[in-house]
Amino acid sequence: MAETEVAQVRFGIVGCANIARKVARAINLASNSILHAIASRSIDKAKRFASDNGLDPRVKIYGSYDQLLDDPSVDAVYMPLPTSLHVHWAVMAAQKGKHVLIEKPTALDVGELDTILEACQSNGLQFMDGSMWLHHPRTVKMKEMLFDSKLLGDVNYIYSTSTTSASPEFFENDIRVKGNLDSLGALGDLGWYCLGAVLWAKNYQLPTVVTALPDVTTNSDGVIVSCSASIQYKEPSSSGATTNAIIHCSFLADTSMDLTITGSKGSLNLNDFIIPQRESSASFEFTLGAKFVDLHIGWNVKPERVVVNCDELPQEGLMVEEFTRVVAGIRTTPGVLPDPKWPEISRKTQMLVDAVKKSVDLGCKPVYF
Does a structural domain hold residue 110? yes
User: What is the structure's pLDDT at 6?
Assistant: 45
Contact between residue 76 and residue 12 where contact means Cβ atoms under 8 Å apart: yes
Mean pLDDT confidence for 112-130: 98
User: What is the structure's pLDDT at 240?
Assistant: 67
User: What is the structure's pLDDT at 239?
Assistant: 62
Q: Are residues 199 and 294 in the same domain?
A: yes
> What is the reported pTM?
0.95
Q: Are residues 28 and 67 in the same domain?
A: yes
Domain of residue 164: give its range: 137-313+351-368
Q: Are residues 322 and 307 in the same domain?
A: no
Mean pLDDT confidence for 130-141: 97
- Phi, psi torsion values for 130, nearest 5 degrees: -90, 40
Does a structural domain hold residue 86? yes
User: What is the structure's pLDDT at 369?
Assistant: 95
Interval 7-28: pLDDT, tens: 799 999 999 999 999 999 999 9
CA distance 241 to 243: 7
Q: Are residues 217 and 78 in the same domain?
A: no
Q: Are residues 157 and 300 in the same domain?
A: yes
Does a structural domain hold residue 194? yes
User: What is the structure's pLDDT at 4?
Assistant: 41
ω into residue 105 within 30 of 0, thus cis?
yes
User: What is the structure's pLDDT at 5?
Assistant: 43
Interval 167-226: pLDDT, tens: 999 999 999 999 999 999 999 999 999 999 999 999 999 999 999 999 999 999 999 999
Contact between residue 272 and residue 282 where contact means Cβ atoms under 8 Å apart: yes
Q: What angle do CA 84, 187, 81 make, to 5 degrees?
A: 30
User: What is the structure's pLDDT at 236?
Assistant: 66
Print the SS3 string covering 56-111.
Answer: CCCCEEECCHHHHHCCCCCCEEEECCCHHHHHHHHHHHHHCCCEEEECCCCCCCHH
Does a structural domain hold residue 2? no
Give the domain CATH number at 297.
3.30.360.10
Mean pLDDT confidence for 81-106: 98
User: What is the structure's pLDDT at 52?
Assistant: 95
Instruction: Name the band, by pLDDT with cuts 50, 70 and 90, for residue 238.
Output: low
Residue-averaged pLDDT of the chain: 95
Instruction: Say how many domains are in the chain.
Output: 2
Q: Are residues 176 and 292 in the same domain?
A: yes
CA distance 202 to 192: 15
